[in-house]
């Protein structure tokens, strides 16, 4: 049985006539002049997507991609080039571009690569060939039937099965030699319901780094159909959302997108090294209510945001960002950690070999407290109970962030009443984090659907939180 490193290097390097032993000299050739760190990032990826619409799977696609990214760092400068041909000649061409970021010439000699010992947080296999196309299609057809059976108001059902598989191999001048195999699967359902001429959408999804046997279950199909149809039906009854500042109770799980925007991005090392984040220089200061502990954890088994090693070959970690309201740490990649004189935290991530790594989140969540969701709702005279969200966005310099509720209800006199139309919520990161007055005992992670964008690069992430009561948040309704 070959090791993971042997398997990955054979698969990625052999087609271009390279072997694992070639990497020491190829990386060594980057160790020149004023280059103080350099790496090669190899990748081979496959993805398959099946889409159901109009009760049929008429559309499916397959994509394959492979290549190598070559990076040289000198101080805070980075030179980078990549190639979709993995050969020694192309790597050397890319090297010549990358090292042009600095003027030094002398070579500094050999690099000894040492294999990173890699945890096994998820199954190291390709989910794509695991099931036949016919089985995958049959599963989606079943979702369609279930959704239509659920309510006569359901007019359209769309379901998508996305399966991706990635092999990565990293060799760096600091001696890092790492490999990983990353499966990623996701199932999503969107329905359109119509009643008395009014149309509304509901959607749900789930996934993670696991195989298709675990993804394509009857229980998952039922859950997604129920969530999507219920959400659409609720939205058919929704009334105009109020506008202005009011208390907001957030449900557990996916609403943790709050933390991703209000806290997460602002604590990424690159922004803090440059002093461009609202949180820059605030380590040790109170930035959230007491009791608020926020963690970024790439080590949770099978989660969408988890990584055995990050894209720089650093083993994933559990990093506490805010502890009992006090800012205690940033998320770092190797470049920013080195420039700030701190340790890397396993947060160096990149969309692909054709992109430069940056500090990015993995699974970001808040530790639970002791309150119940019921208590939170009872404590509100007039406010919003937000159950489900679309995406969010943050301006890390001013601290201003938004996230958009896709399923929400009015709270009137301590009781959940009418559903309200989707609305954007806006606030200021540290102010909102300090307005958290109750933390639930019901921590939940999201179902495995998150995608985070930064500087044009997308990576899969997770979020999570217990139910939260925020005393004051601006709700962007129309009423």
Contact string (CB under 8 A) for another protein, positions 446-475, x = contact = ----------------------------xx
Under a CB-based contact definition with an 8 Å cutoff, are residues 368 and 443 in contact? yes
Site for another protein in 83-112 (CB under 8 A): 83-85, 94, 97-98, 100-101
84-118 in b/e burial notation, b at 16+ Cβ within 10 A?
A: eebeeebbeebbeebbebbeeeeeeeebebeebeb
Q: Which of residues 399-438 bind another protein (CB under 8 A)?
A: 400-404, 421-428
Nearer to another protein, 264 or 369 (CB): 264
Cβ burial, residue 45 (10 Å; 0-12/13-18/19+)? middle
Under the criterion CB under 8 A, does residue 291 sit at the interface with another protein?
no
Taking CB under 8 A as the criterion, the residue among 76, 114, 237, 381 binding another protein is 76
66 touches another protein (CB under 8 A): yes
Site for another protein in 356-385 (CB under 8 A): 356
CA-CA distances (angstroms) from residue 250 to 208, 273, 459?
A: 23, 32, 25
Say how many C-beta atoms besides its own lie within 10 A of residue 163's C-beta: 26
For the segment 169-208, give every residue that binds another protein (CB under 8 A). Answer: 192, 194, 198-201
| 333-350 residues labelled b (16+ CB within 10 A) or e (exposed) | bbbbbbbeeeebbbbbbb
Task: State the minimum distance, in angstroms, from the CB of residue 136 to another protein.
Answer: 9
| Contact status, residue 257 vs residue 389, Cβ threshold 8 Å | yes
Contact between 343 and another protein per CB under 8 A: no
Indicate the residue among 59 and 412 with the shorter CB distance to another protein.
59
Give exposure, 253-273, as e/b (b: 16+ Cβ within 10 Å). bbbbbbbbbbbbbbbbbbbbb
The whole-angstrom separation of Cα 5 and Cα 20 is 9
Q: How far is the CB of 158 from another protein (least distance, A)?
A: 8
Out of 4, 34, 36, 60, the only residue in the binding site for another protein (CB under 8 A) is 60
Residue 244 is a binding residue for another protein (CB under 8 A)? yes
* Residues 6 or more apart whose Cβ sits within 8 Å of residue 226: 150
Considering the complex, state which of residue 69 and residue 298 has its C-beta at the smaller distance from another protein: 69
**Nearest distance in Å: CB 299, another protein:** 30
Mask: binding to another protein, 216-235, rule CB under 8 A, as x and -? --------------------
Comparison of 309 and 432: residue with beta carbon closer to another protein? 432
Torsional sign, CA 379, 384, 387, 389:
negative
Nearest-approach distance from CB 119 to another protein, in angstroms: 30
* Region binding another protein by CB under 8 A among candidate stretches 73-81, 310-318, 336-344, 433-441: 73-81
CB of 47 to another protein, least distance (A): 10
Stretch binding another protein (CB under 8 A), from 82-90, 175-183, 208-216, 379-387 = 82-90
Q: What are phi and psi of 350, to 5 degrees?
A: -145, 150
Q: Which is nearer to another protein, 155 or 372 (CB)?
A: 155
Is 324 exposed, middle or buried, given 0-12, 13-18 or 19+ CB atoms closer than 10 A? middle
Site for another protein contains 209 (CB under 8 A): no
Question: Where in 124-143 is the site for another protein (CB under 8 A)?
Answer: 133-134, 137
Show the site string, 297-336: x = touches another protein by CB under 8 A, - = not: ----------------------------------------
By beta-carbon proximity to another protein, the closer residue of 32 and 443 is 32
Task: For the CB of residue 458, give the shortest distance to another protein in the complex, in Å.
Answer: 15
Q: Residue 138: CA atoms inside 13 Å, Cβ hemisphere, count? A: 7
- CA-based nearest residue to 469, from 408, 412, 386, 364: 386
For residue 406, the minimal CB distance to another protein (Å) is: 9
- Phi/psi at 426 (nearest 5 deg)? -130, 145
Q: Does 33 bind another protein (CB under 8 A)?
A: no
Angle between helices 133-150 and 218-236 (to 10 degrees): 40
Query: Judged by CB, which is closer to another protein: 11, or 400?
Result: 400
CA angle 315, 320, 324 (to 5 degrees): 170
């Amino acid at each position: 049985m070959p090791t993971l490193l042997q398997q990955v290097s054979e698969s990625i390097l052999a087609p271009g006539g390279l072997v694992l032993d070639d990497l020491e000299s190829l990386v060594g050739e980057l160790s020149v002049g004023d280059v103080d760190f350099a790496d090669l990032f190899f990748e081979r990826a496959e993805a398959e997507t099946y889409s159901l619409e109009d009760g049929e799977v008429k559309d499916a696609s397959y994509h394959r991609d492979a290549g190598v990214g070559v990076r040289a760092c000198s101080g805070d400068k980075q030179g980078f080039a990549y190639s979709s041909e993995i050969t020694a000649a192309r790597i050397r061409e890319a090297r010549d571009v990358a090292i042009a970021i600095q003027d030094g010439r002398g070579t500094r000699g050999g690099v000894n690569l040492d294999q990173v010992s890699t945890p096994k947080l998820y199954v190291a296999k390709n989910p794509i060939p695991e099931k036949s196309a016919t089985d995958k299609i049959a599963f989606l057809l079943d979702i369609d039937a279930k959704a239509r059976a659920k309510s006569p108001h359901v007019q359209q059902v769309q379901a998508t099965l996305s399966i991706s598989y990635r092999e990565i191999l990293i060799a760096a001048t600091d001696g890092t030699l790492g490999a990983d195999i990353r499966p990623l699967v996701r199932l999503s359902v969107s329905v359109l319901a119509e009643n008395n001429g009014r149309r509304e959408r509901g959607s749900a999804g789930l996934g993670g780094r696991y195989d298709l046997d675990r993804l394509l279950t009857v229980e998952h199909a039922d859950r997604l159909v129920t969530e999507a149809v219920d959400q659409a039906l609720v939205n058919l009854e929704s009334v105009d959302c109020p506008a202005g500042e009011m208390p907001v109770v957030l449900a557990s799980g996916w609403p943790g997108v709050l933390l991703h925007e209000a806290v997460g991005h602002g604590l990424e090392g690159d922004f803090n090294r440059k002093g461009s984040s609202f949180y820059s220089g605030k380590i040790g200061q109170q930035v959230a209510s007491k009791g608020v502990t926020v963690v970024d954890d790439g080590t949770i088994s099978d989660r969408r945001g988890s990584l055995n090693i990050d894209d720089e070959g650093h083993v994933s970690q559990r990093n506490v960002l805010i502890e009992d309201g006090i800012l205690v740490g940033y998320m770092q990649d190797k470049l920013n950690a080195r420039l700030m004189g701190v340790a890397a935290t396993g947060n160096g991530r990149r969309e692909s070999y054709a992109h430069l790594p940056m500090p990015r989140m993995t699974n970001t969540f808040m530790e639970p407290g002791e309150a119940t969701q019921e208590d939170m709702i009872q404590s509100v005279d007039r406010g919003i109970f937000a159950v489900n969200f679309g995406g969010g966005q943050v301006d890390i310099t001013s601290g201003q962030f938004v996230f958009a509720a896709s399923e929400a209800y009015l709270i009137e006199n301590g009781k959940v009443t009418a559903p309200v139309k989707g609305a954007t919520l806006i606030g200021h990161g540290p102010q909102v984090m300090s307005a958290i007055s109750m933390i639930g005992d019901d921590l939940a992670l999201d179902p495995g659907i998150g995608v985070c964008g930064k500087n044009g690069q997308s990576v899969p992430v997770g979020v999570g939180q217990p139910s939260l009561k925020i005393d004051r948040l601006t709700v962007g309704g129309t009423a």
